Structure formats: C-alpha cells, structure tokens
Amino acid sequence: MLLEARGVSKRFPNGTEALRQVSLAVEEGSIHGLVGANGAGKSTLFKIIAGAIPPTAGRIRWRGADVTWSAPGDSRAAGVSTIHQHIPLVPTLTVLENVYIGELSGVFRTAPLLQRYEELCERLGYRADPDRIVGELPLGERQMVAVAQALAGGATLVCMDEPTASMAHAEVDVLFAAVRRLRADGVSFVFCSHFLDQVLELTDAVTVLRDGRVVTSAPTASLDEAALVDAMVGRRLHEIEEHRADPLPSGAPVLLEARDLASPGRLAGVDLTVRAGEIVGVAGMLGSGRSELLEALFGADPRCSGTVAVRGEPVRNRVRSRVRAGIALVPEDRARQGLVPAWEIWRNVSLPGLGALSRRGVPDHAAELDRAERAIADLGIRTPSAETPVGALSGGNAQKVVFGKWLFGDGDVFLLDEPTVGVDVGAKADILQLVRGFAAAGKAVVIVSSGFEELLAVAHRIVVMRAGRVVAERLTGETDEPELLALASGLTTVTGASRR
C-alpha cells in the first residue's frame, strides 16, 4: 500500500468537523477517484495528505510506515505532489523553468535540464514546447506541465483536484492517456472530480465522501454513475436531469434578437432570436465561440459588429446600455467576474439594482437586506445570515449569490455562462431549477454549458456552435447528446464516450 489514511478526522478550531474517521488507501500504480459534493471534505483531505494542515485524529501511513508531515515540503520530499484546481505555475516563466522550478538555484543551465525534460516527456507521452511561456498555453497544456513538474520533483503519488474542469474533450483524452501511461510506470494518482463519467472511465477505485464521512469505497468496476450519485446526494438529481422542457407556447413575443454578430477571430455572423419564456442552449466545444457569443450579446466585445435588439429596440454595443435594456450576464468565473469577495452577501446582491434601491442616492439598507434575504430564501443559499462575506461561501453557494444579483431586478434577458461549472450535483439541480423558474416568469434565457445533457434537460432549443458560427439548431425533443457532440466536434459519425 503506497498511501493509507486511517481514521483521519479533522476538527477546525471553530468546531466545524470537516472529516470524521476517514480512511483511504491508495495502492501503488493505481488511480484512485475521490468524489463528493462541495463541502464533503475533499479539499481538507487533500490538504492533510499534502501536509498543509495536520489531522485532529488518525494516522497517515506512507509505504507502510506512519508519517507526520507538518509542511507541504515534507510530503513533497517523500514523493506526494498535489495539483490544485488553479494550477500554481508561474505564468511568466517558460515551460522548462516551471517544470524544474524546484531546482532553481545557482546558475540555471538549460542544456542538462533539456535532456532530462525530453526523458520526462517520453515518460509522460506528451511534449509541450519547453520554450513557450506558460501564460500563453491553453489550460489543458498547463495541466500537463503541472503533471510534468510533479514528476520532475520525483512524485510517486500525484493528487489532482478537478484537473479537467473547463478542459476540452481532446485535452481530457491527452491527460488521461498520460495518466494511464504513468500508472503503468508505477506512479499513483488521486483524481478528484465532479465529472463522474470521467471518474468511472479513468480510475481503478473510488471513494465517495459525504459530510466528511466515507460513504462508499469500492473498485470502480463495481460502480456506475447512478450508484455514485446516489452515494453523494441521494436520488433527487436523476429526476431533475431527466426532465425535459415543456414546449413553448406559440406566439410568445421576441425578447432578444441578434442579427449578424461578427467579431474578427471570434464570431462569424451569428443570428439569434429568443422569445419570452424560452431557454436557448448554446452547445459547443471550448473555443467554439459560445462564450464570445454571450460577450457580444452583452456588449462586452467592442469590436463586434451587427445589431442586438431587446423587445424590438436596438441597443448600443456597450455593457451599460445592454444592462439598462435588461440584459444580465451570469459570468463563468464568478470569483473574478461576478462577486466582490470581501463584501457581504447583501452588498453583492444589491449591487446591480443599487439605483432602484436608493432614495436620493442613499441606499436603503433595510431594503438591501430584505432583497438579500429573499435571495437566500428563494435560491436556497446556505449561510448563517446575509452578513456573511461571499468569499467564505462554497462554490455552489457563491454561484447562487451571482444569480441573486439579477433575480429581483428588471432583467428580461439572462445570459448564463457555464452556470454549473465547479458546482456539486445538488447545487447544480437547484441552479437548473432556478433557470426554469426564470423562463416560467417570462424571461428569455441563453445558457452556455459544456454539459450537453444539462442543456438537454433545461433548454427548449439548442444551437450548436463551431468556429464562431452556428452550425445547427435543434429542438431539445428532437436531438440527443451523441448528436450534439457530433455536431459540435464536426464529426459526421458519433464516436467516443460522452462527457459532461
């Protein structure tokens, strides 16, 4: 047994019990899946394994001997490497410098390192240009560089936290190929992901955490997606995801009409019409122009030509004008684009509607609190009070706060960019339900998602984008996930496993 956690518990000084009697065993040369809803304790377990925080009780055994790692350097020296979701590479250095950053001392001599780098790439089965600046690399390639860095540091156990979040299909395949190759080489992995199909595809054994406890730990072969979901949250999700949108009543007025949106290198002439009460899904691979379409609709792309009209009225290509016309964007990267992390929930929620909540320029604090508390109640945000800073909320709850910002305003058109990314299954079901609620209230919704089955569950109509244009349009009742995948990737026949 390479790594063993025995009865590990973690109780934080404030009384939160993040882990209770968790046991985990990773065999040499195996890939171990770790799944659980947000807040189940995955990150805490990762931190304990990495030696970043000490467990309150229990033991960590490494190669059959008890160890006490009190700093990340200790575990790294032993051969454990942890890759966090946002890869801690130095974006301004080259690939080679990043991979060997642990050895940067004295004179940095490129030639011998290059030699070792080539050997490393051989092991990895993948080669990134060593002279490229990491900041210029696509996300998938950065992940590979991070794996290479871990191996260069002599890791025999690599813990990966959500490595495939917002990775394209092809990139996932490359990563998985490398991981399998390294497994054959004797390297072990702990793979933590929200993508259950990927967990099933890649891992040898899976441990499911819920509320800080291990609820399932079994060989992957004995599990399927339904069993994992049941273990994580119970049965509720299935029913919601298998729901199909009701047909749209005919004669609903057109709320949003975009004509010939074009932007050099991003969009090549896109038309889009959305009626009141309609949910339009935008399917496409990363880089297909799906997020760019939302930016163009929102007026965030100054070089975009074409017209956007709300209720038949053309609106200028500026964010402010579009917001005034009732368009709201729920951005993908909520921490960076959606929220002021240091602010309380109520301050964040009231920000877009501050003018309406103010009398003679002075915000009405009671009205703001009221709006925030309504958002908390209606969206099911789990928090002690509206005074909690959003930076302290978990991913799904933070995303709900972003929704809450627009919920009670005058927004008519909602543009949702990957609303469920990085959100656990339970919160995801809540959010999809919320999107349906928007439509039921007569709003127009455009939703972008990499999870095509999610689009199928929530949208009335799906447009498929590729290379900056709309290549197909389907009613959700008339299509399925394999067809969408094929259309989006430009295939004529359907190959490969579906992914979220």
383 binds other proteins (CB under 8 A): yes
CB nearer to other proteins: give 14 or 250: 14
Q: Compute the distance between CA of residue 73 and CA of residue 57 in angstroms, rounded to an integer.
A: 21
277 binds other proteins (CB under 8 A): no
Site residues for other proteins, window 282-311 (CB under 8 A)? Answer: 286-287, 291-292, 298, 300
CB nearer to other proteins: give 466 or 474: 466
312 binds other proteins (CB under 8 A): no
Q: Compute the distance between CA of residue 99 and CA of residue 78 in angstroms, rounded to an integer.
A: 18
Site residues for other proteins, window 211-230 (CB under 8 A)? Answer: 211-212
Query: Closest distance between other proteins and the C-beta of residue 18, in Å?
Result: 4
Query: Closest distance between other proteins and the C-beta of residue 424, in Å?
Result: 7
Q: Please give the angle made by the CA atoms of 408, 381 and 427, to the nearest 5 degrees.
A: 110
Indicate the angle between helix axes 425-440 and 395-407, nearest 10 degrees.
Answer: 10
86 binds other proteins (CB under 8 A): yes
CB nearer to other proteins: give 204 or 278: 278
Choose the stretch contacting other proteins; rule: CB under 8 A; options: 255-263, 306-314, 423-431, 473-481: 423-431
User: Rounded to a whole number, what is the distance in angstroms from the first to the last CA of the chain?
Assistant: 32
CB nearer to other proteins: give 220 or 350: 350
Query: Closest distance between other proteins and the C-beta of residue 445, in Å?
Result: 12
14 binds other proteins (CB under 8 A): yes
Compose the 172-211 pattern: x for residues touching other proteins by CB under 8 A, - for all others. --------------------------------------xx
147 binds other proteins (CB under 8 A): no
363 binds other proteins (CB under 8 A): yes
145 binds other proteins (CB under 8 A): no
419 binds other proteins (CB under 8 A): no
Choose the stretch contacting other proteins; rule: CB under 8 A; options: 93-101, 120-128, 199-207, 393-401: 393-401
Site residues for other proteins, window 427-456 (CB under 8 A)? Answer: 427, 430, 433-434, 437-438, 440-441
CB nearer to other proteins: give 2 or 393: 393
For residue 239, give both structure tokens.
């029913």
475 binds other proteins (CB under 8 A): no
Amino acid, res. 32: H
* Residue from 424, 445, 454, 462 binding other proteins (CB under 8 A): 424
Considering CB under 8 A, how many residues would be counted as binding other proteins?
A: 114
